[in-house]
Structure 1
Amino acid sequence: MLYLSGHIFLSHQNPENVKNQYKSTACYHMADTAEILCAQIVQLPSEERMQVVERILDSLDEPDASMDALWAKEADNRLAAYRRGEIRAVTLSEVIAKYH
């Protein structure tokens, strides 16, 4: 059984039919689509759920030219500051020690 904002749907119903039934209500939102998908996904075997997770994570890791440009500028700024003696390099062991 699937419960969405006061509506109950049987899990054996076709997800598209559920979506269409629910879409006809005034309170349909994108988050409700996510609820429908999640309810379907949790019923999959664990290996298939991992495949879904991997595909979602891959879709979030799309290249972003503007973000790449910002990181390149930051790297250039840090290198320039290092060369001017404003910051120092630290060893990996120092970084690990700081966060452990």
Structure 2
Amino acid sequence: MTKLFVISLLFCAFLASVSAVPVSEYDGKIAEEIHREIASDLQQSEHHRVRRFTCDVLSVEAKGVKLNDAACGVHCLFMGKTGGWCDSRRVCRCR
């Protein structure tokens, strides 16, 4: 099991390094067009904040271990608070 984990980790690191290599075959005109398309896409997209992500997605149970509000507590600790909990609507509330 640990060998599979190490191999998977190395494979992910390899993919990250390969995807980070700069491509030199594009000329300046194509790069400028790509930058313009990306900029226009960013201007058109809206920011949508989902406040329930920490309590809904990160509150998982794996092999009998329940994390429940632990992800919310860690999230609040990173924000400088003393902890937190998930309320009845599954929204993270910090102390």
Query: What TM-score do the two structures reach when normalised by structure 2?
Result: 0.30
Structure with the higher fraction of residues in helix conformation: 1
Structure with the bigger RCO (C-alpha within 8 Å, sep 6+) is 2
Query: What TM-score do the two structures reach when normalised by structure 1?
Result: 0.29
